[in-house]
Amino acid sequence: MKHFIRCFRSYSTKPDLPPCNFTPKKYKGLSYDEMTKIRKNNVNPALTTYYKKPLALHQGYKQWLFDINGRRYLDMFAGVCTVSVGHAHPKITQAVTEQMDTLGHSTNIYYHTKLHEYAKKLAEKLPDKLECIYFVCSGSEANDLALLMARSYTNKFDVISLKNCYHGMTYQMMGMTSNNYYKYPVPGAAGFFKTTNPDVYNGIWGGKNCRDSPVQTDRPCSCGSECEAGLRYLQQFECELRHDIPKGGLAAFWAESIQGVGGTIQYPKNYIKGIYQRVKDQGGLYVADEVQTGFGRTGDYFWGFESHGIVPDIVTMAKGIGNGYPLAAVATTKEIATGLAKAGHFNTFGGNPVACTTGLSVLEIIEEEKLQENCKTVGTHLLLELEKLKSKFPVIGDVRGKGLMIGVELVEDPKTRVALSTEKVLKFWEKCLDMGLIVGKGGISGNVIRIKPPMCITKEDADFTVKVFEVALEDI
């Protein structure tokens, strides 16, 4: 009887999706069973899917997704933090259609206007010295190319990244990435070292005043004029330099401005600036991975690295840059870019006219629709509302993030901070989907709910998300 009452209560309090005046087209594709059979027989099994019964999507509109049966979902994950300005944005659709009708493809061995228009427009969004752009097709490829640039320019080999980081799926980037879920039992690429992840919630050091977020951890803090946790994590970095890096120095240090796949991890406020100075003392380059934090998502700034008060030597970007179109870029100085000219380098699809047209449209939409400001306003509102759930549900260990890059860490016990079991996390995740809410998950234990929606969501969408969380959490 108790179980019945609990289920009935959850069902009766199920929140209604915010209204949407869009009607999807009638689906005419393969049946679900046909897709399942093809997936089993013709698709590499490494391409895993989310949910017990994988979603079969048909159409998108702004922050909404529709499955093949016409059911509507609020997309709060944006195709892994990729759809920046909204699904099927009409401005992008029109611009791409016109470009396809004019020139669908040209490699970068020829001039075409869109590559040059876009390179100039993108460079104007970056600090003055980062004026040299190289276009590629994915974040993994961008980081791989940046690695080649850094090593070629410095004539050094070794690179340090953070434990818990994710920088891509090329062979070399799997070496830089620090999560055993993405490791194969084969010899890895050489020259990659990791330093302690400065996680102020789950790491060795951290406190309630450490991070740049509207919400903080519950850990006590003994910081004075400077963040003590940040200084201690910097000491760990010094250990890596002394023990692992040749006296000739470091080629580069790599970091996401906020860790994405790792679970929306934010660092102590003084950490990145301290790392930057130590890397420069080594004669190395600082590379900012802006694949998830770029293009206004964090709200206060267009680029995540700006919140750390530094200007990187190289910036890599992807995902939101093309609103889902395969587009990425590496930005650096003219001097560092010369390192790539030591040999021939070519990319067939990088700078494709359709890709550049898409990128131009994205930049224009972010400005015209004030989406960076929306990230700050709606994101801060959502963070503060999610934090209120902590007092009601001890299973919420931490709420963190900036703008519309948010993580909610689920734990068995708020005092021990032990990760919530996979079974319970998946139960919560499935219940969110049942109520029409799509969210992601990440972190080394898979217990961090990742909220990284299209940047056009509203406060109403944010409130719906909180209500769904509340109902779903009742059962775990």
CATH code at position 360: 3.40.640.10
Residues 338 and 394 reside in one and the same domain? no
Looking up tokens 């027989």 gives: 41
Instruction: With CA atoms as reference, report the closest residue to 294 among 283, 286, 282, 302.
Output: 302
One-letter amino acid identity for 446? Answer: G
Residues 342 and 294 reside in one and the same domain? yes
For residue 316, the model assigns a pLDDT of 98
For residue 106, the model assigns a pLDDT of 93
Contacts for 4 with CB less than 8 Å, ≥ 6 apart: none
Residues 103 and 233 reside in one and the same domain? yes
For residue 11, the model assigns a pLDDT of 43
The DSSP secondary-structure symbol of 321 reads G
Nearest-angstrom CA–CA distance, 300 and 404: 11
Residues 122 and 78 reside in one and the same domain? no
Per the structure, the complete domain to which residue 414 belongs is given by 2-88+370-473
Instruction: With CA atoms as reference, report the closest residue to 327 among 108, 111, 137, 455.
Output: 137
Listed residues 347, 368, 389: the one ending a domain: 368
Residues 162 and 235 reside in one and the same domain? yes
Sheet holding 132-136, edge to edge: 132-136, 328-332, 314-317, 285-289, 252-256, 159-162, 192-195
Listed residues 322, 340, 368: the one ending a domain: 368
Residues 40 and 168 reside in one and the same domain? no
Residues 393 and 338 reside in one and the same domain? no
What phi, psi does 445 have (nearest 5°)?
-105, 5
Listed residues 317, 344, 368: the one ending a domain: 368
The DSSP element (H or E) to which 393 belongs, if any, is: none
pLDDT in tens, 76-88: 999 999 999 999 9
Hey, what are 298's tokens?
Answer: 């964090």
Nearest-angstrom CA–CA distance, 102 and 100: 5
For residue 475, the model assigns a pLDDT of 82
CB 249 within 8 A of CB 282: yes
Contacts of residues 395-401 at CB distance under 8 Å and 24 or more positions apart, as own/partner, are 395/420, 395/424, 395/473, 395/476, 396/473, 397/201, 398/201, 398/202, 398/217, 398/218, 399/215, 400/201, 400/211, 400/213, 400/215, 400/217, 400/264, 400/265, 400/266, 401/213, 401/258, 401/264, 401/266, 401/451
Residues 160 and 188 reside in one and the same domain? yes
CATH code at position 388: 3.90.1150.10
Residues 462 and 363 reside in one and the same domain? no
Residues 458 and 327 reside in one and the same domain? no
For residue 248, the model assigns a pLDDT of 85
Residues 45 and 101 reside in one and the same domain? no
pLDDT per residue of the chain (476 residues) written in tens, 0 to 9: 344 334 434 444 789 999 999 999 999 999 999 999 999 999 999 999 999 999 999 999 999 999 999 999 999 999 999 999 999 999 999 999 999 999 999 988 999 999 999 999 999 999 999 999 999 999 999 999 999 999 999 999 999 999 999 999 999 999 999 999 999 999 999 999 999 999 999 999 999 999 999 999 999 887 777 889 999 999 999 999 999 999 889 999 999 999 999 999 999 999 999 999 999 999 999 999 999 999 999 999 999 999 999 999 999 999 999 999 999 999 999 999 998 989 989 899 999 999 999 999 999 999 999 999 999 999 999 999 999 999 999 999 999 999 999 999 999 999 999 999 999 999 999 999 999 999 999 999 999 999 999 999 999 999 999 999 999 999 88
The DSSP secondary-structure symbol of 265 reads B
For residue 28, the model assigns a pLDDT of 97
